[in-house]
Structure 1
Amino acid sequence: MRLRAVLFDMDGTLLDTAPDFIAVAQAMRLARGLARVPDQDVRNVVSGGARAMVLSAFDVDPLSDEFESLRLEFLDRYQHHCAVESQLYDGMSELLIDIEQANLIWGVVTNKPLRFAEPIMHQLSLASRSAVLVCPDHVSKSKPDPEPMLLACSQLDLDPSTVLFVGDDLRDIESGRAAGSRTAAVRYGYIHPDDNPDTWGADVVVDHPLELRALLDRTAWTN
């Protein structure tokens, strides 16, 4: 099957969204008269979502009412600060242009809720270029379930085997593989220090977005 489309996870793959998450966490600490935590502490757990990031910034019982209050505040603050410092990863702009010039299509399949993902895509002028945006709001089961990938392929009217899914988390690779797509794991994303993308079973593992250029060559896409 020849490659027809490239689908990306959003956080840690297509976009470096950590600066906005970090800004929110630090602002919450500042509001409470607390010193900054190392930015890297928050960056290391971005893939774990708001829960993990709140726990990285505050010493609090995750089962407590205080934690839930902090989590909700984090999400509320992020709603107003989700597209301030986020940007495409180095090399990603060139890769997207290459994809488009190769007459391929690209889109996003993310576990990020639509209320955050959509404004970011618009703010970065990516919404009109992306052929599809699938968020948890659109499915009953999020990644690692294959449902988001299968929905994206259905909306694009493409066989999953003609699609490459790129992600920075094991859940991305599991979702893509279960859907019947080719998969690429990236080492540059939000990889926990104890995790290793080489063990996820992806078809290819890359250190930089531009390394994916080779896969855009039709002759490199074999069964």
Structure 2
Amino acid sequence: MSFYKMFDFLRELNKNNNKEWMDAHRKEYHEVRDFYIDWLNEMDMKLANVNPNYSHTPGKKAINRINNNLLYHPNKPVYKDHFGAGLDLEKGKGDFYIHLGINGSFLAGGFYKPKSNTLKSIRDAIDYNGEKLKGIIEKPSFKKMFGDLEDEEMLKTSPKGYSQDHKHIDLLRHKSFAVIRTVTQKEVLDDSFNDHVIEVYKEMLPFREYLNEAVTVKG
């Protein structure tokens, strides 16, 4: 089994996105899923060697369901076009997310559109010590790896409780605090992919640590 087989399976599933096809190919699905879980277990051990504070996450816990939640998104297809998983997973904190799919793959981390109390904690941390976060995200190697923070739905004005001339207003306007490293299918299939995942994890780690500390500080 390999990532080649995973992408082949996802392409076929995308062309036959229905329960009947999945039921007929259930064995193949479990083979691909088991391969991904084994790979996640391998990465779990490798990342633990990088970070002494790493939260061990078995592959079966890390992997996301392939079914879309049709209750909340009835117009989506029955099945996703990717396999997703979160490593270094701990309740209430931002994980290291791995998304491998036929319509795009990426490695990400942080908080994407967090709940209001989580967002408030992050903004409080920026108000207290935004220089530290800026130092992390403006580091040349970080910029090269991720570019800028995700900027969907940024506030046009200052958030409640902060003035327009706050020295970190550019950060405070964010509704998400997340970064993404896009990876091509060719990169995923390359023998060096595991090393690349580790490299991305290491570069992202100070960013995730800053945010995770912010959301665990009790006001």
TM-score bracket relative to the smaller structure: 0.3 to 0.5
Whichever of the two has the greater Rg, that structure is: 2
Higher relative contact order (CA 8 A, sep 6+): 1
TM-score (normalizing by structure 1): 0.34
TM-score (normalizing by structure 2): 0.35
